[in-house]
Amino acid sequence: NGNGNNNGNGNSNHNSTTNNNSSNNNNNPNSSSESTDIPLKVCLGPKRNRQIISFEDKILIDQDQSRPTLSIFEHIEGSKYSDGLFPSYVLPNGRRAHFYYCGGSLLDEVAIEAVAPPPRPSTVPQALQQTMPLAGVLSTVAKPPGSAPPFIPYKPVPRIVPLPNRHTLTVKHPDRLDDPAAYGDLREDNLQLIIQTKKIIKTQTTTRVEDLEVKPIEEREPWTLPSSIFKPRVRESDAKGFFDSHQVEEKMFERDWQRACAKEKFMSMLIRENKAGKAGKDEKVAIKEIHDVLLKNYLQLYGAFVYYAAAGTGDPYHLSLNAFTSFLDECAIADSESQFCKRSDCDTVFIVCNFQPDKKSAEAQVNIENAMMRYEYLEAIVRLALSKYGKGQESDDIGVCVQNLVERNVLSNLSPLASVVPNDFRQDRLYNEEVDLILKKHQNLLKALYSRYRLKPSGGGLRHKVLRLDGWLQFLNDAHLVDAQFTLQDGILAFLWSRMFIIDEIKDYSKYSSITFVDFLEALGRVADAKSLPSASDLDSHNYENVLDWAMDKERMEGDIGTSNNNNNNNNTSSSGG
């Protein structure tokens, strides 16, 4: 049906549809004296751009019968022919007219509204999409509304997807590739129903609100070392303090050097070697130069003495022949090519330094006959220096010879463990509030352990008032602290390093060969530090990439020392047997 519409702006939208107007302008219902130049526009519902047809003044004749056409003719009042067949419409000029629309063989424009998505499938057939979602749209396209009969329904048939060239599922007939029914016809043995049960646990949470009373933090005085558990060390040590001082170190050396110079054979040897030299120095000046060199390096020399004495076969307060030989080998002192410093010459030095002219003296009571004490060790250093660099080999100056031996052989070849300074551990690891609180918390137990392992002397008698080495080693054994990572030598070194410096090793030998309760606490700290793994910062500061490298290096150093000791023991056994 067409609705007349008069557009007063004079613009017209041309359609590809051919418009058949009346051939006579006088008979044109659109002609009028007032608006002959205004075209008539007819809108075929619904209103769209392509549904608006304009009747112009000119007449177009198109012989193409396939295109749709719209014809207009005037309504004659009283006409019975069109009555009930064609409705009439009132034009804008008040006249009535009939319209005839011929659709031709082309299809009319059909508006297809947006299709709402299908509902969520709730059954298996819906999930399998047995019907196309756009089936309703296709029906509308096949038979558009408003088409004039007769019309040919347009039902587009989509192309069927070609059959696959193989079966991807286990079907009943896998050899039938050209039969569509063979696809999807699964074997019944593949159809399995699996029923799973899942236990649902409901958790019920109950919240209870309580008022908590936060006690105020008690203010306490800042931690200080004099108020710590280490306080008795000030009274007990020769340094009268918490650290070994340089004054005590110097007094130790002076006492050892005094005893060495009191040996007549040692002094006569120094005077003889000084006179044999071409420098012509006064003997007091030459001896003073040796004194200054040894004093300057006494801390390192004493550290080497403690380290190698702990690795010996005797007690760790004397340097045995095996330990002395290890010292010679690791410091590259003995030389088979040397004229005066062969291995046999070094053994002679050891024997000469151990000679005791007075077997009943105070020194002889505590000095083991076949091992060197500190002052004898200093004498051996001087004699080895003269044998290796003196006697016209490199220098006639006895002071220069001693300096060469100390710098070239001893200091440059000492292992890190032989260069340990006891004060470093006390400053960096032991003396702090955290360690002090832990030790105070277990103070009663620690005192009981210290008292328990103050063993009786092996020859009988009363228990010692202080802890000696045999009790310390018994404690390590009972506590199962000695293993592959913490050896017996490590335990002995922890005992020796925990002692404060003793000025006189002979007069105060009992104090020199034992540890106090505070020393015992330090020894425990050294064991704990050796048993624990180093931190990342410690590894970086010692140029280790990881803990494994540190453990392997530690095991290697311990293995080298153990191998050296075993070789020395075998050599001594062979010599004794010969």
CB 201, CB 485: distance < 8 Å: no
Per-run averaged pLDDT (10 residues), the chain, 578 residues: 36 35 39 54 73 70 71 84 80 86 64 74 74 58 56 65 85 86 79 78 85 79 92 94 95 95 92 81 90 95 95 88 93 90 92 84 82 93 92 86 94 92 95 94 94 85 88 92 87 95 93 95 94 83 84 72 53 40
Query: Which residue range is the domain that position 386 belongs to?
Result: 243-422
Give the model's pLDDT for residue 31.
Answer: 40
- Is 455 inside a domain boundary? yes
- Is 146 inside a domain boundary? no
Assess whether 439 and 396 both reside in one domain. no
pTM to 2 decimal places: 0.57
Assess whether 93 and 231 both reside in one domain. no
Cα–Cα distance measured from residue 374 to residue 306, given in angstroms and rounded to the nearest whole number: 9
Assess whether 263 and 304 both reside in one domain. yes
Assess whether 374 and 499 both reside in one domain. no
- Is 188 inside a domain boundary? no
Assess whether 401 and 495 both reside in one domain. no
Phi/psi region, residue 146 (left: phi>0; alpha: psi -120 to 50; beta: rest), is left
Give the model's pLDDT for residue 296.
Answer: 95
User: What contacts 86, CB < 8 A, 6 or more positions away?
Assistant: 98, 99, 100
Cα–Cα distance measured from residue 496 to residue 309, given in angstroms and rounded to the nearest whole number: 10
**Rounded (to 5) percent helix, strand, coil in the chain:** 45, 5, 50
Assess whether 302 and 449 both reside in one domain. no
Q: How many domains does the chain have?
A: 3
- Is 566 inside a domain boundary? no
Assess whether 384 and 514 both reside in one domain. no
Angstrom distances, CA of residue 56 to CA of 12, 52, 69, 293, 444: 9, 13, 14, 130, 123
Give the model's pLDDT for residue 12.
Answer: 34
Give me the amino acid identity at 65. Q
- Is 117 inside a domain boundary? no
Assess whether 416 and 467 both reside in one domain. no
Give the model's pLDDT for residue 1.
Answer: 36
**Dihedral, 289, 292, 294, 298 alpha carbons, nearest 10:** 180
CB 413, CB 296: distance < 8 Å: no
Cα–Cα distance measured from residue 61 to residue 64, given in angstroms and rounded to the nearest whole number: 9
Assess whether 510 and 377 both reside in one domain. no
Give the model's pLDDT for residue 62.
Answer: 66
CB 340, CB 389: distance < 8 Å: no
- CA torsion sign for 468, 256, 371, 299 is positive
Give the model's pLDDT for residue 255.
Answer: 95
Cα–Cα distance measured from residue 501 to residue 331, given in angstroms and rounded to the nearest whole number: 25
Structure tokens at 546: 């990881």
User: What is the phi/psi pair of residue 42, to 5°?
Assistant: -115, 130
Give the model's pLDDT for residue 501.
Answer: 95
- Is 158 inside a domain boundary? no
Structure tokens at 302: 């004493």
- Is 153 inside a domain boundary? no
User: What contacts 254, CB < 8 A, 6 or more positions away?
Assistant: none
Among 396, 422, 448, the domain-final residue is: 422
Assess whether 437 and 406 both reside in one domain. no
Cα–Cα distance measured from residue 488 to residue 436, given in angstroms and rounded to the nearest whole number: 27
- Is 463 inside a domain boundary? yes
Assess whether 380 and 509 both reside in one domain. no
Cα–Cα distance measured from residue 524 to residue 175, given in angstroms and rounded to the nearest whole number: 85
Assess whether 317 and 439 both reside in one domain. no
